[in-house]
Each structure stands twice: as structure tokens, then as C-alpha cells.
Chains A and B, each alone.
Chain A
Amino acid sequence: MTSAVSFQKASRHFGSVRAVDAVDLDIAPGEFFAMLGPSGSGKTTCLRLIAGFEQPTSGSISIFGDRAEGVPPYRRNVNTVFQDYALFPHLNVLDNVAYGLMVKGVGKAERHKAAEEALSLVRLPGYGARRPGQLSGGQRQRVALARALVNQPKVLLLDEPLGALDLKLRENMQEELKSLQKALGITFVFVTHDQGEALSMADRVAVFNDGKIMQIGTPEDIYQRPRTRFVADFVGSSNVLPPDFVQRYSGQHRWGSLRPESIRVGRAAKGVTSGEGVSARLVSTNYLGATTKLALDADGLRLHAIVPAGIALPAEGEAVVLTFNREHLHLMDEPA
């Protein structure tokens, strides 16, 4: 089966800056694929390589088996939802959505009908006569989505599509995008710096750093079994444990990661030496609603623990004992 999008050692260098550096990547047809990474990690450049706004300096890219190098954006069956939506301010919503069909020479009645359908798909029926300036951020986002989908692209690219929306709207849009993707069966490639968004929506996630892919896998893979310190730290702010610490508990001299929610925090009993647990001091508590995040100092090692709300907490500065299940301690591939 041919991949929807395939990178073979694709690079995009800007002078001495290696925005994308020898990336190998295969995205399956119908997949919801997330590119996750901090800003400047090369994820957006990867998206622009697929869209055709950038050309690889070396390596090759193919879209559904067709070589994409040298093919301009307007000859690719790929559409993009831009971060700032990039709606045309001089056209009304209906003409914005029908734009792709208009430049392809589709008749007015036909393209307006298709645009109306696309607007119903994103739950904005009857908004056609409005100007983009009269819409809220969430509505503009939907118009941008409809404008891309009306062309029936083989791959839909989304560049931080939810970045500008407030929390509540973002959560709704996440669910909606996911169900839309399932219903349409189109390959979605989604760029985000928000690990929660990537984990909750994507079938697979690629974690980017410094123009390279650090790890590709299912959200569970990435979250439970990070391969490097960077992935462990960036995805869900795991506690990264140095090899000497890990050796005491697993017998292996390797870097390890421990999820903050895997750590149990107990009061240090007086006179009892903590044989099992790790003795630490509570530095600060951070109330998050459903949970509380604790910052702990274990003999110079800074650890974070997340405990459910409603549990009696030790006071700040108090000595505590940390315990965890040995199987929750994940050993990483990265050499010590």
C-alpha cells in the first residue's frame, strides 16, 4: 500500500540552519497524524514541504506515490488550514469557501452548492453572505476548514489550527476535527506544540526537535515509552531520572523516566529510615483543579508529582517519602 505522504531523507536547509534534516517519514492513508515539537523544531517546515511552499534541498517527498519535488502548491491535491486562517477579506464566506472551485472553472451555481454543503459540514449553514471580519475566531476556523475540504483533498494539512482559540472552544474543536476526519476518511496531518492536543487527537505522533524526528509512535507509545530524555520531558513533562538514580531501583545504568502521576507522596514517619522510598522535601504545591502538582527536592534531584485533589497534603518544606511501582519506571534507549 502506498503511503499518503512519504519523506525519504528529506532536508530543508536555510543557509546554515537545518530546519528539516534528513527526515524519514511515512504517513498511512486515512491516518490522523500529528507533528509535535517546540517552536523552531521543523514541524511547520515539514508541513510546508508537503503543501509545496518549500522545496526540499535534498532527499525526496512523495504524495500518494507521486514525486512532489518541483510540483507547485496549486498542482498538489493537498489543502491547508492556516494558522491565521488566511481568509480573503474582500470575499464573503460563501465565495471564500468556493474559491478553490472557482479557480478550477466550476460554474457558479455548482460551486455555490458545494460551498453550502461544506459549510453545513462544519456546522455553519447559512453563514455564506457574511464577511470574514464579522465572524468570531472559532467560526473563521470552521470557514477555513470548509474552504479546504470543499476541494476534496487527499491530504489535509492543519497548521496549529486550534492555537488561537480559547480553551473551551479548543476542546470542542478537537472532538469535532476527530469525528470529521473519521467520517471523511481523509488523511489529516496536524502540526501542534501542544502535547495534550497531539495525544488526544492523533492516531500517531511524530515528536520533532532540531529538525529531526525524535520518535514516531502511537500516543500511548510516546507517552508511556519515550525513547529519549527530550521526548520524556516534552511529552507530558515526565521526570527524567539520571542513570545513577535508576541503577538503585532497576539495577541498570540507564536514563529513566517516571510519570508525575506514578509517584505517591507520603509523610516521612519519625524515626523510621526510608528503606523503600525516596526521601525528599516538598518545595511547592501547585493547585490545578482536579489534581495538585507537587515540586519535590530529592537530594538535589528536582521531581514533580501529580496527586488527585482531596488528598491531605504535607506542608511546604516538610520531609516526605516518595514511592512508586517499579514497572512504572521506564528505561530509555538513550545511552547513559
Chain B
Amino acid sequence: MRSDGSQSAPLGLKIAAACGLLFLHLPILLIFVYAFTTEEKSFVWPPPGLTTQWFAVTWNRPDVWQALSLSVRVAAISTAIALILGTLCSAAVSRTRFFGRETISLLVILPIALPGIITGIALRSAFSLADIPFSFWTIVLGHATFCVVVVYNNAVARFRRTSGSMIEASMDLGADGFQTFRHVVLPNIATALLAGGMLAFALSFDEVIVTTFTAGQQQTLPIWMLEELIRPRQRPVTNVVAMVVMLVTLLPILAAYYLSRDGDQIAGSGK
């Protein structure tokens, strides 16, 4: 059953839908409002006054810049690792049959099903057992465990939809393995990798639980925010950071949405 476009939904349904959407998005607006409040010790409603001074304050805080830069670097490197390993793994699992294939598939997906706290504790014990000091790379390692899954899932779905004989056709026409990857495989999985990569980046960027176990004294942006909420001064700085990060990340997400939508139309495969 499909209602045609001209038919209007009943009023009750419209109100329910509006309430649902407001419930989801009003708290976000609240964050925006508190970024402009003059009250710095606690969040009071309504804000006693409005100011833009917190933008300047935030700009001049070195700890904000450090946390932001660490988060961006960790997310970028984790995503890069995930793109390479996830693609290779999905290619192996969907293209060939070998002993233990299903097991590998399960083991790769497991980290995202596992509670983050277990992954975190496991990694922390492993690091201390192996005498590995906490560093940039321990955070990256922790994040890569779930970033690989996201890329893997996206790529595996795309590989299953692309005809296996296409790769054979490419080889048959004289392309070696590298040329086949570049001219046939990559263009066919590119949009899936883009979507998977964006999601992986976003997951890594706001990860708290695994990070607390693998970061040591370092502060990624979400951890910095968490600590900032406990401190009594300059509270709106957190809101400014949250607002800016949200607005900045909105652009690539919109871009990815439009890009992968067009790509799917070309490949003739709906999501």
C-alpha cells in the first residue's frame, strides 16, 4: 500500500510527527543558545543576557586547539587504516572461499557489537601487559577496531552487488591486478568507501569509552568536553566548541549524502 502524494496525512499524525522531531532536535538548539549566554558558572533558563564573547575566549584557549587537533588526527589516521584493512578484508571474504571465512567475518564485526568498555579494558590490559606506554598510536589502535568494521560492512555489501565476472572481464581484456583494481574495482566501491570512511571518521571523532582506557593523560575533544562540564568556569566555551564542530561536520555529511546518492544511481543500486 502506498499513499499517493496528493493525499494529506491526518492532523493528529502531523502533530505527532512534529512533536517527535522537536523532541529530537530541541536539545541541540538549547546547546546553541547556551553558547551565547552571559552566565558562565551554570546553565540557567532563560539566559540572563546574550553575548558573543565566548567565541573569542574559545579561540584563545590552547587546550581547545590541542584537543581538537588530537581528535582530528586520531580520526584521520584511524579512518585511513580502516579504509585499507576494511577494503582488503571485505575483498577477501566476498571474493574467495577459504577455510575459516565465516569466522573471520564474525571476528571482524565483533568489536562493534562488543560494549566499548570491554574493548577498552581489554586493550588497556594488553597494553600494560606488553609494556606499551599510552600514546597517539594507542588511541588510534583502539579506534581502528571499530572503524574497520564500518568500512568492512559497507565494502562487503557493495562487493556482493558487483558482478564477479567484471574482474575476470578486466583481466581478460589485458589489465593486470593493479590496473583492474584502479579502473574497475575502485570506481565500483568508491561511494561505499566514502560512506564508510565518513561514518568511521564520525565514530572516532566522538568516541569516549574506548578512548578513556587507551589515552592516558591525553585529551581528545569529547574527553575534553566531559572534563570541562565538571569545571565551574567559562562553561559556555564547551557549547561554542560543540556548535562549531556540529556546523563544520554538517557540510561534509551533506556532501557525502549527495555524492553517494548520485553514485548509486549510476551503479543502478539503491541503498
Contact surface of A with B, Cβ cutoff 8 Å:
51-53, 72-74, 78-80, 82-84, 86-90, 99-100, 102-104, 131, 133, 147-148, 151
Contacts and interface: CB of A to CB of B under 8 A. Distances in A.
Given A74-B176, A79-B172, A88 B184 contact: yes
A103 B268 contact: no
Contacts of B168: 51, 53, 73, 80, 82, 86
A80 B169 contact: yes
B178 to A, nearest CB: 10
B163 interface: yes
Nearest to B187: A90
Contacts of A51: 168, 172
Residue among B163, B266, B268 with most chain A CB within 10 A: B163
Nearest to A79: B172
B267 interface: yes
B171 A86 contact: no
B179 interface: yes
Given A73-B172, A89-B266, A151-B173, A103 B183 contact: yes
B267 A79 contact: no
A79 B174 CA distance: 9
A86 B169 contact: yes
A102 B173 CA distance: 10
Given A89-B266, A89-B267, A103-B179, A84 B173 contact: no
Contact of B267 (A52, A90, A147): A90
Contacts of A83: 165
Interface residues of B, number: 20
Contacts of A53: 168, 171-172
A74 B188 contact: no
Top 7 nearest A-B pairs by Cβ distance? A100-B173, A86-B169, A86-B165, A103-B175, A73-B171, A90-B187, A80-B172
Given A74-B176, A89-B188, A100-B174, A84 B165 contact: yes
Given A83-B165, A87-B169, A103-B173, 8 more contacts: A53-B168, A74-B173, A89-B267, A90-B188, A99-B173, A99-B175, A99-B183, A148-B172
Contacts of A131: 266
Nearest to A48: B168
Given A89-B188, A103-B179, A74 B169 contact: no
Contacts of B163: 84, 86
A131 B175 CA distance: 21
B188 A82 contact: no
B170 interface: yes
A324 B171 CA distance: 54
A151 B165 CA distance: 18
18 contacts: A51-B168, A51-B172, A52-B171, A53-B172, A73-B171, A80-B169, A82-B168, A83-B165, A84-B165, A86-B163, A86-B165, A87-B169, A89-B267, A99-B170, A99-B175, A99-B183, A100-B174, A103-B173
Interface in B129-173: 163, 165-166, 168-173
Nearest to A75: B174
A99 B171 CA distance: 11
B169 A82 contact: yes
A314 B173 CA distance: 58
Interface centre among A83, A86, A87, A100 (most CB of B within 10 A): A86
Given A82-B165, A102-B183, A89 B176 contact: no
Nearest to B182: A103
B191 to A, nearest CB: 10
B171 to A, nearest CB: 4
